[in-house]
């Protein structure tokens, strides 16, 4: 029988077949087929299930998936979600601060599979005027490259309804650091969702983990959101330095005009169209700096 994985605890998987839910394990052979993901089955996967043994016997082909580097197992990746229509990053400017490096790595990972991206800046009610000006500049910069940006406060229920219009009829991944208000937002989206929430740690000003496993929630028959545990780092997976600029929309066309074409890494090469655009203010300096960090393998994953 074919079903959809709606929850993953790492050992057990909830699989929805029609309107019936099965608690399943993975057939041992799947784990031995050279898979380099720490979680070979992800929420959103379409799978074959043996109902007599409650076993996932096959992972069906994916239309896409989004991954990040495993923080626990060197050389492995972690599949955040599969078969999604869009990826939504919940970000905050403070308590905790979501770095631009983290944001850009998320965008690049989604863009690699041409998955549309949305950045939701939450906790707008906590910001002073200087912070709001910073958010306004970021919103304009990201919208210029085709990323949807939404400003809201889940706790105060400000612009929650505005976000819902982006979710209708789609399977959406919701991710971000612990403490950005993801669980609070999910609780606002549907009365049927009751995710635990927690305060920010006074000592570290970082969020405390409340979600411990990935799970898909249905807002209606056609609208689904996938919640994930808070992510501390976002490392890129299986990307060669030469291809990374292809996942920056503002660089994608320009790179064809570089003197050394696809061989140009846009670091020190002469005749680089991307560095010329940077000098002319056509590429955001922070985006270029984050691009360089990715190419050089520097650690700006947090």
CATH number assigned to the domain covering 241-296: 1.10.40.50
pTM above 0.85, yes or no: yes
Tokens standing for residue 127: 């910001």
In our burial notation (b when 16+ CB lie closer than 10 A, e otherwise), range 36-70 reads ebebebbbbbbbebeeeeebbeebeeeebbbbbbb
pLDDT computed for residue 281 by the predictor:
93
C-beta of residue 66 within 8 angstroms of C-beta of residue 79: yes
Domains of the chain, residue spans: 2-61, 81-227, 241-296
Tokens standing for residue 56: 């996932």
User: 2-61, superfamily in CATH?
Assistant: Nucleic acid-binding proteins (2.40.50.140)
> Of 21, 13, 19, whose CA–CA distance to 57 is shortest?
13
Per residue of the chain (302 residues), give pLDDT as tens. Answer: 999 999 998 889 999 999 999 999 998 766 655 556 677 899 999 999 999 999 999 999 999 999 988 666 555 688 999 999 999 999 999 989 999 999 999 999 999 999 999 999 999 999 999 999 999 999 999 999 999 999 999 999 999 999 999 999 999 999 999 999 998 999 898 877 777 665 544 444 444 445 568 999 999 999 999 999 888 888 888 899 999 999 999 999 899 999 998 899 999 999 999 999 999 999 999 999 999 999 998 766 67
pLDDT computed for residue 287 by the predictor:
96
pLDDT computed for residue 32 by the predictor:
52
pLDDT computed for residue 205 by the predictor:
46
CATH number assigned to the domain covering 81-227: 3.40.50.300
């Amino acid at each position: 029988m074919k079903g959809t994985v709606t929850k993953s605890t790492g050992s057990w998987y909830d699989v929805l077949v029609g309107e019936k839910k099965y608690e399943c394990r993975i057939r041992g052979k799947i784990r031995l087929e050279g898979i380099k993901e720490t979680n070979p089955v992800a929420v959103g996967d379409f799978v074959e299930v043996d109902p007599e043994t409650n076993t996932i016997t096959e992972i069906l082909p994916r239309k896409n998936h989004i991954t990040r580097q495993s923080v626990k197992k060197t050389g492995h990746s972690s599949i955040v979600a599969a078969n999604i229509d869009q990826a939504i990053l919940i970000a905050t400017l403070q308590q905790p601060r979501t770095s631009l490096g983290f944001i850009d790595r998320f965008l690049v990972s989604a863009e690699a599979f041409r998955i549309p991206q949305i950045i939701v800046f939450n906790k707008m009610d906590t910001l002073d005027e200087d912070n709001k000006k910073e958010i306004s500049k970021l919103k304009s910069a990201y919208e210029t490259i085709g990323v949807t940006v939404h400003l809201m406060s889940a706790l105060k229920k400000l612009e929650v309804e505005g976000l819902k219009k982006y979710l209708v009829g789609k399977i959406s991944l919701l991710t971000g650091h612990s403490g950005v208000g993801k669980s609070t937002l999910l609780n606002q989206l549907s009365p049927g969702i009751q995710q635990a929430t927690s305060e920010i740690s006074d000592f570290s000003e970082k969020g405390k983990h409340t979600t411990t496993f990935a799970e898909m929630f249905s807002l209606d028959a056609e609208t689904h959101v996938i919640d994930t545990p808070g992510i501390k780092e976002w490392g890129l997976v299986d990307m060669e330095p030469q291809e990374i600029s292809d996942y920056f929309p503002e660089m994608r066309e320009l790179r064809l005009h570089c003197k050394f074409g696809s061989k140009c890494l846009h670091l020190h090469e002469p005749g680089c169209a991307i560095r010329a655009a940077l000098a002319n203010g056509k590429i955001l300096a922070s985006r270029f700096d984050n691009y360089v960090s990715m190419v050089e393998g520097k650690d700006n994953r947090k």
